[in-house]
Amino acid sequence: MPAPVGPAGPTEAEEPKGRRRIGVLLVVALLAFLVDFGSKLLVVARLENHSAIKVIGDVMTFQVIRNSGAAFGMGQALTVVFTMIASAVIVVIWRIARRLYSLPWAIALGLLLGGALGNLTDRLFRSPGVFRGHVVDFISVQHFAVFNLADSAIVCGGILVVLLSFRGSNPDGTVHQQADKGEQADKGE
C-alpha cells in the first residue's frame, strides 16, 4: 500500500533512504577543478606563445587560446553574462545537493560543478579583469572547437544528467516510474 500524500507533498514514508551523497559530489567537483586548473597552469607556462603541439597528427593539437566567449567562441561580448550564468549554475547545484542521495547524480553534478568552477576561476582571475577574464582553452580538435578540461567535465556531466533523466532517476534517489505507479494505485487503475 503506498504511503499517503498530504496537501504539502509526500510524507516521511516516501522520503529517500540511504546516505546523502554530498561528499561524492564535492570530491568529484574538486578533482575536476584541480585537473582543469593544473592543466591550464601547465599549458600557459609551457605552450603560450609557442607553436601548436601535434598530439594526433593534425586531428588533435594543443594550443593556447584565450576565449572571452562561450563554446565555439560565441558571445565574446557577453563575458560578464557567462560569469553570472556559471555562478547561477553553482548555486543551483548546491541547492540540489541538500537532497542528493543518488550516486550517479552526485557524480554528474560534481562534474558540472567542477567544470563550472574551473571556467569561473578564469573569468574571475585572468586578464583582462574580474568578471571579464578570458578562459584558457587548449585542446584543439580539427573541424571542432578549442576547449579545456572544465568544458569536458561540463559536457560529460550534462550527458550523464540527460541519461539519468531519461532513465527516470531523480537526484534524491527516487525513480519517476515509481511515483507514476504510486499515483496509478491511488487512482485505482
- How far does Cα 123 stand from its chain's mean position? 16
3-state SS class at 45: helix
Angle CA 74–76–82, to nearest 5? 85
Given the residues 36, 58, 122, 151, the one annotated as active site: 151
- Grid coordinates representing 34 are 584541480
Given the residues 36, 137, 180, 186, the one annotated as active site: 137
What is the spatial distance between Cα 95 and Cα 113, in angstroms, rounded to a whole number? 12
186 is an active site residue: no
151 is an active site residue: yes
Handedness of CA 148, 151, 152, 153 (dihedral sign): positive
- Grid coordinates representing 120 are 569561473
As annotated, the active-site residues are: 137, 151
